Amino acid sequence: MEDTGTIRLGNGNFEFPIIEGTLGEKAIDTRALRAKSGCITYDEGYGNTGSCLSKITFINGEKGILKHRGYSIEDLAKNSTFLETAMLIIYGDLPNQENLETFLQKIRSHASIHTSMNGHFDSFPSAAHPMAILSSMLNSLGAYHPEMSTNNREEDLAHFDETAVILISKVRAIAAMTYRMKMGMPFIPPADTSYTSNFLHMMFSEPYNEYVDNHGVGKALDLFLMLHADHEQNCSTSTVRMVASGGANLFASVSAGVSALWGPSHGGANMAVIKMLEEIHASGDDGSKFIEAAKKGEAKLMGFGHRVYKNYDPRAKILGKSSESILGSMGMNDPLLEIARKLEQSALKDDYFINRKLYPNVDFYSGIILKAIGIPVDMFTVMFALGRMPGWIANWKEIAENPKSRIHRPRQIYIGETERSYVPVNKR
Ligand code: CMC
């Protein structure tokens, strides 16, 4: 017998099906609530709202578990690569050797952007934020592929494989070109190397001086990107799904995702963490004063806390170790890492953080890695976007391929004025 749940409203009892996920998560399916009872659910911030059924990513926030398509993040971090994991996230299974090779080859063949797009960079002031540029350029990219951005589901899906590869590959060139434009440096054409080596080359090579990675920077970057590849219904992914639900094409949807990611409560936190650590360092504090300020509500410990994780974010654990190993292999001693460790230790034994279940999240250590690699702070959230691209693409696909998917259109409770009559301007 199907499990049901009953909601009692006044004298009425209303029954609704209980849905259970493959890993035991339960939800009461209230889609018919308003039709049956006249009531809607109110859940500002969506803390209790399942907006979709998805097969891509599973999180158990209480236990600190993250899985993509059934594979734990620890397993993938140890054994896989960013692009292999991207295929897993997008297509549902780990690819065989041949499919992986074909995918990598396609990524290589789409490494540069149309030369006419170079001119777009000239129209941005050098003070423009890289996330503003990235969002605009991704939407513009769709204009260069009109057959893939028709807003006709069938046609856009017919080109899906190529669109996905174009986005994953070209977002990297756009990121590197954004950095170089802002620095007033010439663009560097792509080379025929791995995903991250090519990114580092386009970022840091000079026409007269090839970037050489002697310290495993490419590998650390690959891990960083993989750990950001998807994270179920976060703010930007939900935005992508929202935009996709209206029938918008993949370019437009991920461009909206970039805008959503930009905010400091979401992806922008990776920039905010480094700024916070630098300020603590410059003030001579070892972190103790900052912790006290956070407890009084005078500051926020950036890179801490999460809507879903009420335990250690497993990605933060991996990135904490990775930040130590990349600094070690580069022979660097960043005082910010010491401050971060001190903040973490203090917070983890402080009642304020314990009671609220606040732990380090993915953004806490990632900036230390990016800083060591030489990525400027205002590019940090762009790096997050590079990593999150496969997740946005997979979520767009899930919406687009579902013949039953409906436009996302939440309701609201109106609390404004009730009835007013227009008063001419000279009488107000
Ligand atoms: N420092 C100090 N106090 C905090 C923090 C923090 N980082 N995060 C939450 N709290 C407190 C908050 O003030 C509230 O206290 P009280 O119950 O006394 O009012 C309590 O903890 C619950 O917090 P909340 O704001 O209701 O939690 P939320 O689920 O709405 O917000 C969050 C989650 C991630 C936006 C928030 O923890 C935060 O702003 N953290 C810092 C920014 C950050 O690191 N963002 C990255 C998130 S992970 C990656 C990503 O999504 O991009």
* Model pLDDT, residue 286: 86
What's the 355 CA to ligand 1 centre distance in angstroms? 13
Strand pairing partners for 5? 16
Active site residues: 306, 363
Cα–Cα distances in angstroms (integers) from residue 309 to residues 66, 107, 241, 389, in the given order: 10, 33, 22, 22
Over its C-alpha atoms, the chain yields an Rg (Å, rounded) of 23
Residue ranges in the chain whose pLDDT is less than 70: 1-2
- Residues in contact with ligand 1 by the CB-under-6-Å rule are 234, 265-267, 269, 294, 300-307, 356, 358, 361-363
Mutate-to-test residue for ligand 1 from 44, 62, 265, highest number of ligand atoms within 8 A of CB: 265
Give nearest CA residue, ligand 1 atom 51: 266
pLDDT digit string (tens) for 24-65? Answer: 999 999 999 999 999 999 999 999 999 999 999 999 999 999
What's the 89 CA to ligand 1 centre distance in angstroms? 27
Give nearest CA residue, ligand 1 atom 17: 356
d(CA 128, CA 383): 16
pTM: 0.96
Among 206, 236, 204, which Cα is nearest to 218's? 204
Among 68, 47, 51, which Cα is nearest to 314's? 68
* Model pLDDT, residue 383: 98
* Model pLDDT, residue 231: 98
What's the 305 CA to ligand 1 centre distance in angstroms? 5
pLDDT digit string (tens) for 259-279? Answer: 999 999 999 999 999 999 999
Give nearest CA residue, ligand 1 atom 35: 265
CB-CB contact of 366 with 319 (8 Å): yes
